[in-house]
Amino acid sequence: MLESVDGLILAAGKGVRMVSSLPKVMHPVLGKPMLQHVVETLHALAIERIHVVVGYGHDKLVSEFSKFKLEFVLQEPQIGTGHAVQCYAKSFQVPPKNLLVLCGDTPLISRITLERMMEVHFEKKPSLTMMTMELPDPAGYGRIIRDSSGKVVAIRESKDCTQSEKSLKEVNPAIYLFDGSSLFERLGKLSNHNSQGEFYLTDIIEMLVKDGLSIDTVHEEDHLSTLGINNRTDLSKVAGIMREKVLQKHMAAGVTIIDPLQTWIESNVSIGKDTTIWPGTTICGTTDIGEGCTIGPNTFIENSQIGPVSIIRQKFLRGAVIPQNTILEPLSQGFILPENQE
């Protein structure tokens, strides 16, 4: 990375539509809290200083994520994205060189697109580089407003759009890379004179334009990567997308998965080539399965080590260490294949 970038993850919301006492960003997606997926993406970009704005259930969240060396900012009450960033600025009064702002409920966020944003930002040095995308049905998203020359001049939140603005297909997925000083100089000017009575971070865009500062955009082709999770249906949909990617990775590496629709494998699982996974199998945690194994059907394995050329059928294993050439089948206590048998 050519320049320093700090990360700011907005994660203060309760997530009322989740109908849960657990903070929304702590709900697991493929074995990890959704916030962890976002944090790991930033770590993969070599962003070392990561701040998280917390609110509802912040004690649980801070305790859960203390091992990740994050810096937490409390937002109370939660009155908009602009207010969340204001809370951050009050806690860290010296602006960072660059600040990447994104939401904690988007675990599919594309590392590749974020890298492209940083490349554009470092090369052109605008006051803001923001992600945009086009949707056939943009309902619920803020619209990107451009002038006759194609330059971004504003972002209009969905509930504040005019009828003509609602017809626009280019939307704001709420991922921004700011010049830190340009952002901090304008945060105090935000107002909540809008239909929501909140402080919108998007209002910063019009301030930058009014002051003659430049804004660049990076287009995201894969709209699934920006899916936010607002309810249990969204949670299931995003987990399904992530699960399919994990299964495709294993199949590309030489693992046979008989029926992907009946197989659940979490992201920290490793499986050797020429292993076959039968339907009804769940493999989770930090499980390692050797080469040439047969796993399933109807088998659950968590945080276990399975040696090569083993057969595990209709078993529940948690924290198990299974040596190579082991057979575990229904009603069996397990035994080892003869040395000359494979």
Chain segment 165-196, per-residue pLDDT in tens: 999 999 999 999 999 999 999 999 999 998 88
Tokens found for residue 79: 């009155």
**Does 199 share its domain with 300?**
no
Q: What is the pLDDT of residues 308-321, one digit of tens each?
A: 999 999 999 999 99
* Rg of the chain taking only CA atoms, in angstroms: 24
User: Does a structural domain hold residue 237?
Assistant: no
**Does 274 share its domain with 129?**
no
Q: Are 176 and 130 in contact (CB under 8 A)?
A: yes
- The angle at the Cα of 109, spanning 104 to 112, to the nearest 5 degrees, equals 140
β-pairing, 294-295 vs 299-302, is unpaired
- The angle at the Cα of 197, spanning 141 to 102, to the nearest 5 degrees, equals 45
**Does 23 share its domain with 97?**
yes
Instruction: Check which CATH number belongs to the domain holding 70 and give it.
Output: 3.90.550.10
CA 219/CA 199 separation, integer angstroms: 26
Q: What is the pLDDT of residues 239-251, one digit of tens each?
A: 999 999 999 999 9
Q: Are 22 and 60 in contact (CB under 8 A)?
A: yes
**Does 170 share its domain with 268?**
no
Q: How many domains does the chain have?
A: 2
- Residue 342: pLDDT band (50, 70, 90) is very low
**Does 14 share its domain with 112?**
yes
**Does 69 share its domain with 173?**
yes
CA 74/CA 258 separation, integer angstroms: 47
Look over the chain and give the mean of its residue pLDDT values, rounded to a whole number: 94
**Does 12 share its domain with 111?**
yes
Q: What is the pLDDT of residues 128-140, one digit of tens each?
A: 999 999 999 998 8
**Does 209 share its domain with 268?**
no
User: Does a structural domain hold residue 235?
Assistant: no
Instruction: Check which CATH number belongs to the domain holding 281 and give it.
Output: 2.160.10.10
Question: Helix or strand or coil: residue 226?
Answer: helix
Stretch 44-64: mean pLDDT, rounded? Answer: 96
Look at residues 193, 205, 191, 206 and name the one whose alpha carbon lies nearest to residue 160: 193
Q: Which of 226, 242, 275 is the last residue of a domain?
A: 226
17 catalytic? Reply is yes
β-pairing, 152-156 vs 170-172, is unpaired
User: Where in the sequence is the domain holding 103, given as residue range(s)?
Assistant: 6-226
Task: Please list the residues that pair with 6 across neighbouring strands.
Answer: 99
pLDDT for position 330: 86
**Does 62 share its domain with 198?**
yes
- Letter for the amino acid at 213? L
**Does 149 share its domain with 279?**
no
**Does 145 share its domain with 274?**
no
Q: Which of 17, 111, 232, 318 is catalytic?
A: 17
User: Does a structural domain hold residue 240?
Assistant: no
- Spell out the alpha helix ranges (H) of the chain: 34-44, 58-64, 81-91, 111-124, 163-166, 180-187, 203-210, 232-252
User: Does a structural domain hold residue 236?
Assistant: no
Q: What is the pLDDT of residues 116-130, one digit of tens each?
A: 999 999 999 999 999
- Residue 159: pLDDT band (50, 70, 90) is confident
Please count the residues of the chain. 342
Stretch 87-103: mean pLDDT, rounded? Answer: 96
pLDDT for position 336: 54
**Does 168 share its domain with 266?**
no
pLDDT for position 264: 98
pLDDT for position 195: 83
Q: Which of 183, 209, 226 is the last residue of a domain?
A: 226
- Residue 93: pLDDT band (50, 70, 90) is confident
CA 192/CA 143 separation, integer angstroms: 19
User: Does a structural domain hold residue 246?
Assistant: no
Q: Which of 226, 261, 296 is the last residue of a domain?
A: 226
